[in-house]
A and B are shown apart, each in its own frame.
Chain A
Amino acid sequence: MANQARDAAIVGIHEYPLRVAPGRSAMQIKAESISKALEDSGLKYSDVDAIYDTNEGEGGGGLGMSHYLGLKPTVIDTTAVGGSSYEFQTAHALRDIRAGKANVAILSYGSVAASNRTPIGTGGGTGAGAPNWQGNMEDSFGQTLIANYAMVAHRHMHQYGTTSADLAEISVSTRLHATRNPDAVRAMQDLQFMGTGEISVQDVLDSRVIADPLHLLECCMVSDGGGALVIASAAAARGAKKKPVWILGTGEATKYRENGGDITVSAGAQSAPIAFGEAGVKPEELDLAMIYDSFTITVATILEDLGFCKKGEYKDFAKGNRFRFDSALKPALNTDGGGLSSNHPGMRGLFLLLESVRQLRGESSSQIANAQLAIAHGNGGFLGGNHTGGSVILARD
């Protein structure tokens, strides 16, 4: 039975609508998103007493954001663990609210990666910059971010018989959701996708290989964008405009290259049981899985690690169009269109929480009927190397 504790809730959200935002800075996107998320919540600017920030872009962390916003919070958290930072920060906000240290918290994200032409996926260790113990063992070998994830895909295929066609199911259902989301359609148009309509498994397999075995249509976009969310104590949430979305449980974990380690298991295998345990729910009860889709393999691996199916059984689990928002099978997956087809400015973790909230409020463009429970799972860093896993389980009021 679900945990009945209702200590902290997400009460305000905003997703910056543009994916190409020339003339905007990351800081401006963050600030605009914070203002609009607070407006969505109905809480006052002066109510904010806790700032969580990843120190991304020009953000400046908890200190820099306080300065820019002109706020003097009493909880300042600069947790920066890659794209899952927002799941970690949500965990910390829940903890800090439970401890009575915080009442109204804000998290924000802004990036102009597309306008800056940042080569996130096809960049890699440059061999430049300050000496580094890990860089010195990796930068000479030409590892791109995509190639690192692709190494997980090859091993997954080797150990479990997973195929590219199996992985492509994720691209197909995610694109379907994107076609229903006007912001995602505009994103694909503005980023000059070859097509913005639905795609088939064959389309994915026919797209060019970027790093074997991953194809172009298995890779997320690089966009501008950002957003913000407001987390409030139960007491503060009573003053919110909309129904709160409660944070039931959270989990955090790290993983890295290990001698003899299994690269097909992500940090999610450690973080998820903690989150599910705290929430008192089981994976099969969830209506929605918002999983960081940097690449198809990320989602396949993490679905297994979160316990939706056993390790290696993704290929069977994925059958039957189960990931669609209107499928009779649970869970629906990445109903906003994902990083693959809607929004990926570099650290997607925030958007996983935003779409979870939209679903649990009944506001999604691909609304699941009677959605009650969701998980947002962020993966930060390199799936086949250093990475973090952050799991957040959310419930409708």
Chain B
Amino acid sequence: MPNRPQPRFPEPNSQPFWEGAKRGELLYQQCNSCNGVVFYPRMLCTHCGSLDLAWKQSKGEGTVYTYSVVRQNRNPAFSDLGAYALAYIDLDEGFRMMSNVIGVADPTKDVSIGQRVKVEFEKQDSGDYPIPVFRPV
């Protein structure tokens, strides 16, 4: 199994997101006052300042906004991945997250901007939290 860095706790902003990941759910926040979508998880609404945020579950489908194929990373946690695609994914609910596009034969050729992708939760040797990554659909 992959051996990526795990999230570190206590970190109360992101803990619900990662508990969701354990259940196979991709979570984001939405403001009950202005309906604004908030991501990364935090304490207040970045649109109106309200403290009244609700957790929502994403369908996990989106498009690749941009990407880069990493050929060199000094961090040993990624050394056995080979070249891998780092990406910003625009989820259909309106939030942008950093992730990886996986499951392609050659990431330098098989990943593209605008590509449709779907989340999956990749189990890790490094700990209990699976990491949300995206596979082309």
Contact = CB atoms under 8 A, between A and B. Distances in A.
11 contacts: A124-B75, A127-B5, A127-B8, A136-B11, A141-B4, A147-B68, A153-B68, A154-B67, A209-B69, A211-B72, A211-B86
Nearest to B84: A142
Contacts of B23: none
A257 interface: yes
Given A147-B86, A155-B113, A259 B39 contact: yes
Interface hub of B4, B41, B68, B113 (most chain A Cβ within 10 A)? B68
A263 interface: yes
A139 B86 CA distance: 11
Nearest to A123: B74
A124 B73 contact: yes
Contacts of A141: 4, 86, 98-100, 131
A308 to B, nearest CB: 24
Given A147-B70, A212-B108, A138 B98 contact: yes
A130 B8 CA distance: 7
A21 B114 CA distance: 47
B9 A263 contact: no
B6 A122 contact: no
Interface of B: 4-11, 13-14, 17-18, 37, 39-42, 65-75, 77-78, 81, 84, 86-88, 90, 94-100, 108, 113-114, 131
A142 B10 contact: no
Nearest to A264: B66
Interface residues of A, number: 48
Given A142-B75, A151-B86, A259-B95, A132 B11 contact: yes
B127 to A, nearest CB: 10
Given A125-B5, A259-B95, A142 B88 contact: no
A136 B5 CA distance: 9
A126 B9 CA distance: 15
Nearest to B86: A147
B4 A140 contact: yes
A212 B68 contact: yes
B110 to A, nearest CB: 12
A271 interface: no
B40 A260 contact: no
Contact of A122 (B72, B81, B108): B72
A379 B91 CA distance: 28
A150 interface: yes
A151 B68 contact: yes
Given A210-B72, A259-B37, A158 B100 contact: no
A131 B8 contact: yes
Contacts of A280: none
Contacts of A154: 66-68, 113
A132 B8 contact: yes
A248 interface: no
A119 B14 contact: no
A119 B78 CA distance: 15
Contacts of B71: 208-212
A380 to B, nearest CB: 20
Contacts of B5: 125-128, 139-140
A127 B4 contact: yes
Nearest to A158: B113
A135 interface: yes
Contacts of B41: 133, 137
A155 B72 contact: no
B75 to A, nearest CB: 6
B75 A131 contact: no
A22 B101 CA distance: 42
B73 A136 contact: no
B74 A135 contact: no
A261 B67 CA distance: 15
